[in-house]
Amino acid sequence: MATAELTAAFARLNRATSTAELVQATQAIASLQDPEAAETLIKVLGFNNPAVANVATEGLIRLGCAVVPKLLVNLDARNYGARAWVVKVLATLRDPRGLELLEHALQADIAPSVRRAATRGLAELDLNNSRDADALRRCCDGLLLAGRDDEWVVRYAAAFGLERRLQHSNVSGSMTDQALALLRQLSSSSEDVKVVRLRAQLALQRLNAE
């Protein structure tokens, strides 16, 4: 059951009629760091107001991995803006339970911002446990897919992600070979966008694989 403070904060949100009031009300809710606020903060993500969504996103992140199940069941399939914020939260929390949603977002979402956020998530999921070998393989497969995305922002994120996985994970030899081959492709003249080429070159330098 919601506390009196949280109930009052919810009422303030419902009365808000301007962006400033929405931001202040959302800040009041987030500041309580009450798990009961999670569903309301997720709803706020769908207001199509970046200033408000940013506050709600930070509030959800502060609630930690306990919000992950709610994020997975409350995703608004019709609102790409809300999806992007949810994917950002999952990516930041690095919780392996978000893997399937991140994979789906990368493979199927029409919004480049969502696919980019999903790519970052696949790069940073916490997979240090040896039992996570299959999840690591799936993350790497996703990053390889992202490296061939039509949008340069997604390919840029893939270059970052492949570097991170190869530096900090026990990636198989075959997967390492595929990742390095893709980074070399992204760093070559076959990649049209200079910033992607430079990011892939940096990844290869850091991996001592030029």
Instruction: For residue range 61-107, list pLDDT tens digits in order.
Output: 999 999 999 998 877 777 778 888 999 999 899 999 999 999 999 99
In a domain, 190, yes or no: no
Whole-prediction pTM value?
A: 0.86
**What CATH number does the domain containing 25 carry?**
1.25.10
- Tell the residue number behind the tokens 């992202």, with chain if given: 146
> Which residues lie closer than 8 Å to 152 by C-beta, 6 or more apart?
192, 193, 195, 196
Q: Which of 60, 109, 59, 67 is CA-nearest to residue 84?
A: 109
In a domain, 118, yes or no: no
Token couple for 15? 């009365």
- 19-31 helix and 50-63 helix, angle to the nearest 10 degrees: 0
**Total tally of structural domains belonging to the chain:** 1
Q: How many CB atoms lie within 10 A of CB 62?
A: 12
- Tell the residue number behind the tokens 């995703």, with chain if given: 75
What pLDDT, in 10s, does the model give residues 177-201?
A: 999 999 999 999 999 999 999 999 9
In a domain, 145, yes or no: no
Q: Which domain holds residue 25?
A: 1-93
